[in-house]
Chain A
Amino acid sequence: MLQRNYIQIFLSVQKALFLRELNMRFSMSRIGLFWTFVQPFLQVLIFVLIKVFLFGRTAETFDFAVFLALNFTAFNMFKSISNMSMGAFNANRGLFIYKQVKPIDTIIARGIVELFITGIIILTFILIGFYFNYDMNVKDLELVALGYMSLMIFSFSFGLCLAIANTFMPSVSKVVGFLMYFLMFASALFYTVDMLSPELQSVVLMNPLTHFMELIHGSYFYALDIAHVNYHYMFIWTISLLFVGLWLYERLERKIISL
């Protein structure tokens, strides 16, 4: 048989897995797919309504709907990469009979699928934004993109750790379900850190996700700033998770394959 080098093998495995994941998404549950694309819009709508209901129509320095859309796409990306990675080893166990499929390939492929979906959602939001004349003026597009990109690496690292933990301790998935719910409220998704009291600020800023969110919306709106963002803190969290994940993976890969 034709000898292929590592990169060729990796690319053909990624292509095969990516198309397979997409196929599975489309063929398995139409409702799930529908929900994936409708959920972010519903989230924005609900929180806009809650705000109007609680505080009335206050004059604002930034567009709250755009603010929510920005935060929720980022948070949903984090959540879905983590959740999909967590189940990747177990869901693809049957594929490890093909020796070129390594467990980590399944995480990467699922991550790419999530990015693909996130991309479509962002595009839809942008189109809607332009159509309805929302505030689409970006203060610093590069920093917003950097925010999304670093969050992507953070999510992948977190997902890798979760996948390994979940393989050996299945109860992890239950804890993560609760953690995600908690993080939704503790990550500056529908408020800015500035709106909180100083005591609450220090608590919320212990959560690394808050920094990513602050970076994203702080560099999007002229009215907001990124004074609370601690790059060093974000970096340490990402590198630590990535290192721990890869280190554990390297040690346990064979065990995961033949489990």
Chain B
Amino acid sequence: MIELTNVTKFFQTKHGKKYILQDVSLTIPDHQNIGILGRNGAGKSTIMRMLGQIEFPNSGKITSPNTFSWPLGLAGGFVGNMTGRANVKFVCRLYGKNEQEIQTIIKKIQDFSELNEYFDMPIKTYSSGMKSRLSFGLSIMFDFDYMLIDETLSVGDTRFKKKSKAAIMQKIETCSVLLVSHDMGTLREICDAGIVVNEGKMYYYTDIHDAINEYENINKKSG
């Protein structure tokens, strides 16, 4: 369960305040895979970051008893000069894994990410596809209540896309997903419920299809 109480979030721009959320109160129920929809710049990623507690509302509160992954799909979080292996170890240690668990996780990630000899090379030599593969492989090794995904299902080539979709389908049997995406097909396939963000307001729909319809209405209205 995620509870938003009178949440206001804005960014200060040259032309005054740009509101992402304006006094929004909302309760998001448990065990739902939720798609977040909105036009570019509506604040989908900001909302996701707020849920992950690495961005904070200007006023109001967001509370939840659940655990959240870091927002997936961000390039950050890896050290360019360190090898893939060292970076994986670092994140495992952050989450309190012991050396034995780390070795198991490393083995699994090696198999999943198909980086081969690149796994022991510095991250700065990776292509962006390789980076996302590593980041995605790493994230599914932990058991969060919610996975925060920012359009990362579209990483890699067609074959890897299939593989990561299969992995995420398996993962959502045990955890929920909050997904930001512009791909309606993916949203329909993975999500049960939807959130539409528009002009400082945030609406929750128990059915993702309703959310998609509403989103398409907004797009039509504003041309």
A-side interface residues toward B, CB under 8 Å?
1-2, 4, 8-9, 12-13, 15-16, 19-20, 23-24, 27-28, 93-101, 254, 257-258
Contacts and interface: CB of A to CB of B under 8 A. Distances in A.
A93 B145 CA distance: 25
B1 interface: no
A33 B80 CA distance: 18
B67 interface: yes
7 nearest A-B residue pairs (beta carbon)? A94-B76, A16-B93, A12-B96, A99-B53, A258-B55, A97-B70, A1-B67
Nearest to B82: A23
Nearest to A255: B56
Contacts of A4: 96
B94 A27 contact: no
B55 A24 contact: no
B77 interface: yes
B184 interface: no
A93 B91 CA distance: 15
B144 A19 contact: no
Interface string B79-103: 1011000100111011110000000
A2 to B, nearest CB: 8
Interface of B: 49, 52-56, 67-68, 70-71, 74, 76-79, 81-82, 86, 89-91, 93-96, 122, 142-145
A12 B79 contact: no
A12 B76 CA distance: 20
A98 B53 contact: no
Given A96-B54, A98-B77, A99-B52, 6 more contacts: A9-B96, A19-B89, A27-B122, A97-B70, A97-B74, A258-B54
Contacts of B78: 94
Main secondary structure of the interface of B (DSSP, over half): loop
B71 A254 contact: no
A100 B53 CA distance: 9
A8 B95 CA distance: 10
Most-contacted residue by chain B among A2, A8, A93, A98 (CB, 10 A): A98
Nearest to B55: A258
A176 to B, nearest CB: 24
Given A23-B86, A27-B82, A257-B54, A101 B144 contact: no
B79 A20 contact: yes
Contacts of A12: 93-96
A21 to B, nearest CB: 10
A257 B49 CA distance: 11
Nearest to A29: B81
A95 B78 CA distance: 8
Contacts of A99: 52-54, 68, 70
A96 B53 CA distance: 10
A24 B144 CA distance: 29
B56 A258 contact: yes
B95 A95 contact: no
B75 to A, nearest CB: 8
11 contacts: A12-B96, A16-B91, A23-B86, A97-B52, A97-B70, A97-B71, A97-B77, A99-B68, A101-B94, A257-B55, A258-B55
Contacts of A24: 79, 81-82
Given A24-B79, A257-B54, A258-B56, A98 B96 contact: no
A1 B93 contact: no
Contacts of B55: 257-258
A88 to B, nearest CB: 14
A96 B145 CA distance: 20
Contacts of A2: 96
B76 A97 contact: yes
B49 A258 contact: yes
A12 B90 CA distance: 10
B93 A15 contact: yes
B9 to A, nearest CB: 10
